Amino acid sequence: MSRKPIAVFDSGLGGLTVVAALYRMMPHENFVFFADRARVPYASLSPNLITRYACESAGFLSSHEPKAAVIACNTVSAVALREVEKVFSIPVINVLHPTAAAAAQATRNKRIGVLATSATVKRNTYSVVLNELVPGVQVTSQGCPLLVPLVEEGWTEGDIPRSIVEHYLGSLIEARVDTVVLGCTHYEYFRDHIQHAMGDDVILVDTPRATAAELDQWLESHNALETAGPGSVKVFSSDVTEALYRVVESLFPLNFQVEVSAVSVESLSKFVALPQS
C-alpha cells in the first residue's frame, strides 16, 4: 500500500486542530501540513488574492505527492474551493461541508449559529448548505474578525479574549440557537469560552472530528487507509514563531515528534500558476 502523505492546508494555526484530529483517528498515516502564517488572515483579502495564495499553497503541498488533501480553512473552502481542487488533482476534503452536515444532524430546533470570518459570512456559504440539508432552518451568522489575530499571537486565555468572544455571541444567544458552527478552525482554541457562554444545552460542532471522519471514510472505501506502521506529522509554515511551537506541543503527545520547517513566501509562487477556468 502507498505511503504517500495526506496534505493539509490552512492560512494559519487553526488547521493544526484538524491535523491533530486526523492523526488521532488515523495514527498510521503520514501528514504534511502547511500554514501560510506570513499572509494570515486571508479573510481580509480580496477573493482574487485569497485564490492566488490558496493555489500557491496547494502547489507547494502537491510537490510532496500526497494521495489526498484537506482544506482546513473555511475561508478558502468558501471562496476558492474549485480552483484549489484543480491544483491538487487528487481527492480534496474541505472543512465546510462535513461541518454543515454535522450541524444539520445535531440541531433540534432548526436554529443554528455560525461564527465565521467576514469572507465566509459574506459568501453566505454555510446558510446555503444548511438550507439544503435542513429545510426551514434559521441560520444566524456572526463575523468574528478579532479571533484569528488573537490565536496567531497565542492570546487565547484571559479576560480580554473572553470578553471579545462573549461580544460576538450576543446575536446567537438572542436567536436562541441550539447548535453552533465554529466556521473557522482558529476558533477551536476558544471552544471552552464559547461553550461556557452559550451554556451546556447548546451543541458546538466538532469541525476537526467531522472532517477527519469524512477523510477516514473516503480512504477506507478506496482501500487507501494505512493500518500499520508509525505515522508522522510534518509542519511547514511561511512564518515560524514561538506561538507555532506552543500550539504543536499542546495538540500532540509529548513523546511524538513533529517536524517544523520554514517556507519562504517568495518560493511559493514557483509551485503553481493559477488554474484556468
| Active site (annotated) includes residue 144 | no
The three grid cell numbers given for residue 8, joined into one nine-digit string: 493539509
Q: Which of 102, 184, 203, 247 is catalytic?
A: 184
Cα–Cα distance, 164 to 202 (Å, whole number) = 19
Say which of 50, 54, 73, 121 is annotated catalytic. 73
Q: Which of 72, 66, 90, 109 is nearest to 186 (CA)?
A: 72
Q: Which segments within 98-237 are labelled E, that is strand? A: 111-116, 138-143, 179-183, 203-204, 232-237
Phi, psi of 86 (to 5 degrees): -65, -35
Q: Provide the 3-class DSSP secondary structure of residue 253.
A: coil
CA distance 96 to 91: 15
Strand 68-71 and strand 6-10: the pairing is parallel
Residues 27 and 242 sit within 8 Å (Cβ to Cβ)? no
Q: In what order do the strands lie in the sheet with 30-35?
A: 92-94, 68-71, 6-10, 30-35, 232-237, 259-262
Catalytic residue ranges? 73, 184
